[in-house]
Amino acid sequence: MTDDTVPGMDAPLIILLYSDNADARRQVMRAVGVRPHLALPRLEYVEVASEPIVVAHLDAAGIDLVILDGEAAPAGGIGIAKQLKDEIEGCPPIVVITGRADDAWLAAWSGAEAAVPRPIDPFVLTDTVVSLLRSRIANTELPA
């Protein structure tokens, strides 16, 4: 076992990260990193720039958390969050990056578990991601 391996959690957690802006995706990945908390396994990111690919990845399963850019175009993250929550059974938790703090109610309406406003505070985003992933792991039944 290496120093970056959590006992019983060798597989990485997969985060789907949607934005039409590559710089915005990089900003999120830099803020959260690949090992934001010792109680979590490493994170891997699936970068996506279009809504149909987001849906395809969620249909295929294997995603542990979704981070959506609420300001992306032509499909905004809030609308995609609503679609995913309405259509995907067992949809993983969703974080929407909003254009402003006042848009949090829209993210809540969409069914997203959390909203983080721009400008992104790396501590707030990381705490949000860690909290949602730890809850997901705690609620996941372990195989017998």
pLDDT at 10: 80
Please report which confidence band the pLDDT of residue 2 belongs to, taking 50, 70 and 90 as the band edges: very low
pLDDT tens figures, 40-53: 999 999 999 999 99
pLDDT at 9: 60
SS3 44: strand
Q: Tell me the average pLDDT across 56-75.
A: 96
Mean pLDDT of the chain: 92
* SS3 labels along 73-127: CCCCHHHHHHHHHHHCCCCCCEEEEECCHHHHHHHHHHCCCEEEECCCCHHHHHH
Q: Residue 29 forms beta bridges with which residues?
A: none
Q: What structural domains and CATH numbers belong to the chain? A: 13-139 (3.40.50.2300)
Asked, as a colleague might, if the bond just before 74 is cis with ω within 30 of 0, I would say yes
Q: Residue 114 forms beta bridges with which residues?
A: 95
| Whole-number Å distance between alpha carbons of 142 and 94 | 22
pLDDT tens figures, 95-107: 999 999 999 999 9
Q: Provide the strand spans (E) within 5-93.
A: 13-18, 43-48, 65-69
pLDDT tens figures, 79-127: 999 999 999 999 999 999 999 999 999 999 999 999 999 999 999 999 9
